[in-house]
Amino acid sequence: MAKAKSHVPEGFQTVVPYFHVDGATRFLAFLRDAFGATETYRSVTPEGKIMHASARIGDSMIEVSDATQQWRAMASAIHLYVPDTDAAYARALGAGATTLYEPADMFYGERSAGVTDPFGNKWYIATHVEDIPPAEMESRQKEFARKQSQQGQQQ
């Protein structure tokens, strides 16, 4: 057996989201249709359940399995960078996601949208559109917080 060249498997990054879902095959299809995921590996139990699968979305790997008694289904939240937020948002809705918030330009330099997939996971879809110096970011954050506070007082 050859010694590993790195502590991280080739093609993976150091943090790898792992999804335990009810219906892993359907989840992988959602990821393909919504975000262009490419499945790279699948191991199936004798009963036909996915024991372990990996897929690539953009430059990142994720891992997926069918939930079991030991590894129950649980929702996650993912911040996903894409070249076109509006197009990715539309594809996600077309694949069965529901809206958390529609695409909008955010004070922190991103065009962002949010969806919940049919398995309960939240996806924050974003395109980085502006590099903001720290002092400007602080000013924008304060202005955003001020507006939020005013809106809360009006309700």
Render pLDDT for 39-93 as a digit per residue (tens, 0 to 9): 999 999 999 999 999 999 999 999 999 999 999 999 999 999 999 999 999 999 9
Render pLDDT for 120-142 as a digit per residue (tens, 0 to 9): 999 999 999 999 999 999 999 99
Q: What is the pTM for the complete model shown?
A: 0.90
**CATH classification code of 75-155:** 3.30.720.110
Residues 137-154, mean pLDDT to the nearest whole number = 89
Phi, psi of 84 (to 5 degrees): -140, 100
Q: Where are the domains of the chain?
A: 10-74, 75-155
Return the structure tokens found at 80: 């996903």
**CATH classification code of 10-74:** 3.30.720.120
Distances in Å between the Cα of 78 and the Cα atoms of 16, 19, 35, 114, 142 are 11, 11, 12, 10, 25
